[in-house]
Structure 1
Amino acid sequence: MTTVTSPLTGRAIGLADVPDPVFAGAMVGPGTAIDPVREPSEAIAPVDGIVVSLHPHAFVVVDSDGHGVLTHLGIDTVQLNGEGFELLVSKGDTVTRGQAVVRWNPAAVEAAGKSPVCPVVALEATADSLGAVVESGEVAAGDALFSWQ
């Protein structure tokens, strides 16, 4: 079983409340979302593993069980073309849970007209393979968000 932890400090809101129909409908996969605190911060790895996809606005870490976890920093933030995001690792790097992956500023994302809400998604999973999904309340970076069978 894999425990997926929060890449950010903020408030858990659940995927259904993400202002994007693809994430809200769990079309990418099941999981939850974080409405981050509005200050410059570092998004950290939610699991130990290998960075298999890395963009300024999103990254995927695959753990030793082959579970891929997507962290998407804001909604429609691909349209910012990397502005305001700083990559701290490289694709192919091995990371440990809690290691900083991307530095960004949710307040700047919001000022640019985008939602800073961050889906954290279990890729190629089914909703019934996740347990203890946190969908409300305050969370700190590194707190458990869900378990994955």
Structure 2
Amino acid sequence: MTSVTSPVTGRVIGLEAVPDPVFSGAMVGPGTAIDPVLEPVVAVAPVDGIVVSLHPHAFVVVDGEGHGVLTHLGIDTVQLNGEGFEVLINKGDTVKRGDAIVRWDPATAVAAGKSPICPIVALEATADALSDIKEDVDVKPGDTLFNW
């Protein structure tokens, strides 16, 4: 079982509340979402593993069991072309839960008219593969969001 932890500080709101049908409909996979604090944050690895995809606005870490966890920093933030983001590591790096991956200011996304909501998704998983999904609670990096 893999415990997936929060990459940012904020409030867990659930995937259904994400203002993007691809995430809210769990088309990418099941998981949850966080409404982050609107201050500069460092998004951290939600699991131990290898960074297999890395963009300023999103990253995927695959753990030793082959579970890929997507962290998406804001909605439509790819359109910011990296503004407000600073990538701190490299694709292919091995990370431990809690290691810094991207420095981000969610307020930059809000100022550009984008949602700061951060989906955390279990890629290629089924909804029944997840358990203990947190709902409507405040979290900080390292707090468990769900088990896979």
- TM bracket (short chain): over 0.9
Structure 1 residues without counterparts, runs of 5 or longer: none
Residue aligning to 1:54? 54
Q: Which position in structure 2 is the counterpart of 1:19?
A: 19
Which runs of structure 2 are paired with 1:71-82 in the superposition (5 Å)? 71-82=71-82
1:99-110 aligned within 5 A: 99-110=99-110
- Seq. identity, %: 76
Q: Is the 8 A contact 1:35 1:116 kept in 2?
A: yes
For residues 46-71 of structure 1, what are the alpha-carbon distances to aligned partners after superposition, in whole Å with 9 as ceiling and x for unaligned?
A: 00000000000000000000000000
Alignment length, in residue pairs? 148
SS of structure 2 residue aligned to 1:16: helix
**Partner residue, 1:32:** 32
The residue type paired with residue 51 of structure 2 is V
**TM-score using structure 1 length:** 0.98
User: How far does residue 144 in structure 1 lie from its aligned partner after superposition?
Assistant: 0.1
Cα separation, 2, equivalents of 1:139 and 1:41: 13
Superposition pairs of residues 1-149 of structure 1, within 5 angstroms: 1-148=1-148
Deviation at 1:133, TM superposition (A): 0.5
- Once residues 94 and 111 of structure 1 are traced to their aligned partners in structure 2, the CA distance between those partners, rounded to angstroms, is 33
Give the letter aligned to residue 102 of structure 1: V
Moved over 2 A (4+): none
In structure 2, what is the Cα distance between the partners aligned to 1:135 and 1:55? 27
In 1, distance between residues paired with 2:19 and 2:135? Answer: 15
SS in 1 for 2:84: coil
Give unpaired runs (5+ residues) of structure 2: none
Q: Structure 2: how far apart are the matches of 1:147 and 1:61?
A: 15
Cα offsets for 1:83-130 (capped at 9, x unmatched)? 111000100000000001000101111111100000000000000000
Q: CA deviation at 1:14?
A: 0.2
Q: TM-score, normalised by structure 2?
A: 0.99
